[in-house]
Amino acid sequence: MFKCIKCAKCCYNTEMILLKSDIARLKAAGYRLSDVAVKVEGNYYRLRNIDGHCVFLDPDTNLCKIYENRPLGCRLYPIVIAVDTLEVTVDTDCPMSHTVTLDDILSRRELLLKILRELVEMGIVGKRL
């Protein structure tokens, strides 16, 4: 079973895509999108980095300031979806990626499907689904 050691490596130089539901949740929590995200080519948003790390990481504690409201992709990590191929893989940049089991992936299938649906709705992945 996956064992996160809270090293926060995944919070540095983040490229995490914000889904529509992520943006709605952040706005509801009182954040202004332009403060916490950057618009990228393709007309969608990624989490903003400040000083090389996610705007929401507290580098002193390695804790996420919005843990309860964090993006769906952060909840899924280190399991990741390649938006070009739709392949579900484990990101080996995570030092504990070797602890991810098939059960870990299967137990997140609802989350995986929700993310995939939103990626399709947003036009980020192909329309072939």
Contact residues: ligand SF4, CB under 6 A: 4-10, 77-78, 94-96
Q: Which is nearer to ligand SF4, 80 or 125 (CB)?
A: 80
CB 53, CB 65: distance < 8 Å: no
Q: Which is nearer to ligand SF4, 6 or 65 (CB)?
A: 6
CB 96, CB 4: distance < 8 Å: yes
Q: Which is nearer to ligand SF4, 18 or 80 (CB)?
A: 80
**Neighbouring residues of 101: CB distance < 8 A, sequence distance ≥ 6:** 1, 2
Q: Which is nearer to ligand SF4, 9 or 120 (CB)?
A: 9
Q: Minimum CB separation from ligand SF4 for residue 106, in Å? A: 18
Q: Minimum CB separation from ligand SF4 for residue 128, in Å? A: 30
> What is the number of helices (H) and of strands (E) in the chain?
5, 9
Q: Minimum CB separation from ligand SF4 for residue 86, in Å? A: 22
Alpha-carbon torsion 65, 77, 17, 116, what sign? negative
* DSSP-based three-state secondary structure for 12: strand
Q: Minimum CB separation from ligand SF4 for residue 77, in Å? A: 5
